[in-house]
Structure 1
Amino acid sequence: MNLKQILNSRLLSNTFNLFVLYGISSIVPILLVPYLLNTIGVEKYGLVNFALIFSFYFQIVNEFGFDLSNVRHIVKNRENISELGKIVSSILQCKFILIVCSSIVYSLV
C-alpha cells in the first residue's frame, strides 16, 4: 500500500475522527466540572457523581460482555440472515432479562 492509498483510506479518516472525539471527550469535563461546582455546590456535585457511579454498575451488569462476544457471532454468520435474526433476538431477550433483574435490585437499593 503506497502513501497515497493510506492517506485516502477510511482507516486514516476513522483514526482521525476517533482522536477528535477522544480529545473532545477529554476537554469537556475539564471545562464542565468547575462550572458545575460553582453552580450546584460541592455537596450536590458529589451526590450527582455518586448516583452516576451507582448507575454505571448496573450498566456493566446489563452489558455482560455482549459487546465483545456477540460481534464474533454476528461476523461468523453475516451471510446467514435467519441465523442473524436468531442471534439478535437472543441478545435482546438476554438484555431484557438482565434489565428487569437489575431494575428490581436497583429499586430495592
Structure 2
Amino acid sequence: MELLIVATDLEGPSIAWTVLSSASERVSIDGNEYRLETHIWRDFMPICEKSGRPMIAILYIKTVNSSLVPSDIKVDIAWIMLGNDSQAQIWKTHVLEEQPRQSDVNRHYIRAIARNGPKWGPN
C-alpha cells in the first residue's frame, strides 16, 4: 500500500491509476515525516456467506520519529488497489477515525478504518 496526499474535490472524478501507482510511501509535512502502515483483510470463515464478508482496511499514518501528530492533520479518503497495471481495480472509500486521538500512547499516529469494501477474491 502507498501513502498519497492529495488536495482534491471529494465528489470530483476519481484519481487515475497512473497517479495512484506512483504514490510515495512517505511524506513530509511541516518538518515531520509520516509513513503509511496498512492492514487489509476479508473474512472467509465458515459462518460467513460463501463469498465472504466485504473488505476492511485499517490505515495507520505514523510519524517516523514517534512525535505527536498535529490535530489538524486528517485522513478523509483512501484508494485501495488490486493489481499493478492500468487494469487494476480501485476501491475509493471514505475512512473514519473510529477512536479519538486523545491518549499519549497513540498520539504518534492516526488510525483510520474503511469498511464494507469490495469482495475481491482470495486468489
TM-score, reference length from structure 2 = 0.19
Instruction: Give the structure with higher Rg (CA).
Output: 1
Q: Larger helix proportion, structure 1 or 2?
A: 1
Higher relative contact order (Cα pairs below 8 Å, separated by 6+ residues): 2
